[in-house]
């Protein structure tokens, strides 16, 4: 009987207490648009030096996928590489375990920078931009953190 009462009363308390919400909206400040600190990889280092569009949650058509940034690549010792080619750049959201459609992503190498456009971020939150590249003949991958407001 006591257990029964306690259970019912606690259920009421639990249910009635559920009205409190600690809801907070995502950060949409300019901070997320700033360049990232350099990420060091085994064969190359990478750093986002700027976003021409975004980072922002993408729209629902190819025309609405507009995120574009420029990534600077250096050798592990911090020098400008003599050769650079890109295999793939794609976004992934580690904390949710999924990526986003990436077939539409366009990359262009200019000097030691990679211009990346049409990056899709399908939701707000912490993402990683994976860069698979060959630098001075050695292929590797780095992941650059990106916060999408």
Partner 1 sequence: MTPILKIRFSFFSASVLAFVVVAISLPSHAWACASCGSGSDDPLVLWPNEELKTYVGVSTSSRFETVDPQGKYGQESGPKSRDAFTFAVGKALRNDFFFTLTLPVQQNRLEGSSLRSLGDPMIAARWSWWMPDFSEPLRPQIQMMTSYKLAHSKSLQETTRPDLLDAFGTGIPELKLGIDTFWGMGTVKGGVALAGLFPEERKLGRTTVFPGNGLRATSTVGFSLGGDNKIIGGLVREMRENRRNDGQRVEKSEVLSHSIFVTLDWSPAQHNMLRLSLTDKGRVLENRNMIAASSLSFAWLATWE
Residue 37 as a binder of partner 1 (CB under 8 A): the answer is no
Residue 11: what are its φ and ψ, rounded to 5°?
-65, -45
User: 113 or 125: whose CB is closer to partner 1?
Assistant: 125
Among 33, 53, 109, 125, binds partner 1 (CB under 8 A): 125
Residue 11 as a binder of partner 1 (CB under 8 A): the answer is yes
Q: What is the Cα–Cα distance from 119 to 138, expressed in whole angstroms?
A: 25
Q: What is the Cα–Cα distance from 67 to 33, expressed in whole angstroms?
A: 11
Residue 27 as a binder of partner 1 (CB under 8 A): the answer is yes
Residue 87 as a binder of partner 1 (CB under 8 A): the answer is no
User: 75 or 124: whose CB is closer to partner 1?
Assistant: 124
C-alpha count within 13 angstroms, C-beta hemisphere, residue 68: 13
The window from 31-39, 41-49, 68-76, 96-104 that contacts partner 1 (CB under 8 A) reads 96-104
Residue 62 as a binder of partner 1 (CB under 8 A): the answer is yes
- DSSP 8-state secondary structure symbol assigned to residue 38: P
Q: 64 to 83, contacts with partner 1 by CB under 8 A? A: 64-65
Close Cβ partners of 102 (under 8 Å, ≥ 6 residues apart): 88, 89, 90, 91, 119, 120
Q: What is the Cα–Cα distance from 125 to 64, expressed in whole angstroms?
A: 19
Binding site for partner 1 (CB under 8 A): 1, 4-5, 7-12, 14-15, 18-27, 57-62, 64-65, 92, 94-99, 101, 103-104, 120, 122-126, 148-149
């Amino acid at each position: 009987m006591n257990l029964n009462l306690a259970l019912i009363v606690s259920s009421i308390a639990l249910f009635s207490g559920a009205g409190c919400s600690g809801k907070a909206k995502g950060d949409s400040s300019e901070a997320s648009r700033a360049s990232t600190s350099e990420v060091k990889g085994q064969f190359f280092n990478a750093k986002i030096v700027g976003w021409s569009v975004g980072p922002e949650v993408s729209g629902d058509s190819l025309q609405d996928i507009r995120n574009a940034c420029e990534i600077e690549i250096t050798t592990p010792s911090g020098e400008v590489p003599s050769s650079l080619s890109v295999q793939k750049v794609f976004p992934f959201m580690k904390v949710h375990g999924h990526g986003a459609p990436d077939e539409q992503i366009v990359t262009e190498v200019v000097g030691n920078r990679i211009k990346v456009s049409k990056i899709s971020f399908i939701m707000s939150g912490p993402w990683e931009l994976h860069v698979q590249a060959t630098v001075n003949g050695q292929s590797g991958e780095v992941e650059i953190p990106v916060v999408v407001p």
